[in-house]
Copies of this chain bind each other. A is one copy, B any other.
Amino acid sequence: MPDISQRGQQMPPSPIRKLVPFAEAAKKKGIKVFHLNIGQPDIETPPAILDAVRKTDIKVLEYSHSAGNESYRRKLVNYYKKAGINISYDQIIITTGGSEAIMFGFFTCLNPGDEIIIPEPFYANYNGFAVAAGVNIVPITARIENGFALPPIEDFEKLITAKTKAIIICSPNNPTGYLYSREEMEALKNICLRYDLYLFSDEAYREFCYPPSAEGGQGGEYISAMHLQGLEQHVVLMDTISKRYSACGARMGALVTKNKTVYDAAMKFAQARLSPPGLAQILGEAAVDLPDHYFDSPKAEYMARRDLLVKRLNAMPGVFCPNPGGAFYAMAKLPIDDSDKFCQWLLESFSYNNQTVMLAPATGFYGTKGLGKNEVRLAYVLNLDSINAAMDCLEKALEQYPGRVEKNLVTGVSAAI
């Protein structure tokens, strides 16, 4: 029997998925599980865009252009214009989800052995695409204490080697919800220009930027990497409609770049896989025609959820959750010994009113081993009542968890109690 490849062995399993059997077992016992563990929103996919698919009169479901239907790309130009991003239709490649945009970006721009700097915690699947492409992720740690702001640019400079080829950012961020400020984006621009690095910008959560909450915290104006003047040749935008229109299953994304060499090379990868999904392109094209106020309702809903979630978390003894400026995630520091153990324990050994909560251990989002052991990610993809019930569970769970650790806030030293 032949061996599998080294990358097949090195490929990381999904850090979230490993808890799934425990969630299934809990459900079999009759326990209701609140899923705050994955970024699968409960928001309805706009009926109008599903109707566009329902009404299709296609007779032969043909290959589309490898870059996606021209009609769709031309419409997207207007969508991006509204976000202050000025591009033309031949600077867009429609991809199979944001995932394929990330993959095309890595394969087009990076050689095996090249290094990409990524502020951690970061979207765990970057690891998988990095292994596939043979490139090395160099994490730079953002700290929960300052809300996961961009680490100092001097810290980036310390990590730059002859192999460094790119920086990836995701703003608003998954998993932290942090929204980079104009100053932070300008700092990133400067370092990319100084060291001639690509800036890969994952902007899946563009629409979901919030003002600071009543209690303060982070938030404000959305800045795209595409807004950075003078960085046009360095920016590769990786986009998706998954979160924008709650259409994760469509698998419809885009790679956008003004760098023609990158575009032309990425197109060769696009041609090799022939075309992006055809039915989903109908849905994506219809989405561009949604009225501008479409986002008002999901955005208000997410903001209310954020405010509730963060308030509830910070009211729990020993818990700290910075108020995030965007997306639909929050990271919380818990008084626990080990977030993997705790998340498993929640599913395996705990229930309150016959309910429990599924969270994502933050360890899966850090590249530096050992980090994230007392942090979890919470996706506020459930309604306010469910969030309240889930927070009731978490509050009780933290009281009962045998691995609870009290942190001495003065010395910073932890001690099991």
Interface residues of A (CB under 8 A from B): 1-2, 4-9, 11-14, 17, 38, 40-45, 50, 53-56, 58-64, 66, 96-97, 99-100, 103, 107-112, 114, 125, 127-129, 132, 134, 165-166, 196-198, 233-234, 246-251, 259, 261-262, 265-266, 268-269, 271-280, 283
Contact = CB atoms under 8 A, between A and B. Distances in A.
Contacts of A280: 277-280
A84 B246 CA distance: 40
A237 B276 CA distance: 22
Contacts of A58: 45, 50
Given A6-B111, A53-B56, A279-B279, 12 more contacts: A2-B165, A7-B111, A8-B108, A11-B272, A13-B271, A50-B56, A53-B54, A54-B55, A125-B272, A128-B271, A132-B269, A251-B275
Nearest to A4: B265
A124 to B, nearest CB: 9
A50 B276 CA distance: 18
B274 A248 contact: yes
A236 to B, nearest CB: 10
B249 A63 contact: yes
Contacts of A274: 97, 99, 125, 248, 251
A361 B264 CA distance: 23
B250 A277 contact: yes
A52 to B, nearest CB: 11
Contacts of A266: 8
A250 B279 contact: yes
A330 B111 CA distance: 38
A198 B259 CA distance: 39
B96 A1 contact: no
A274 B64 CA distance: 23
B107 A64 contact: no
A268 B63 contact: no
B12 A109 contact: no
B129 A62 contact: no
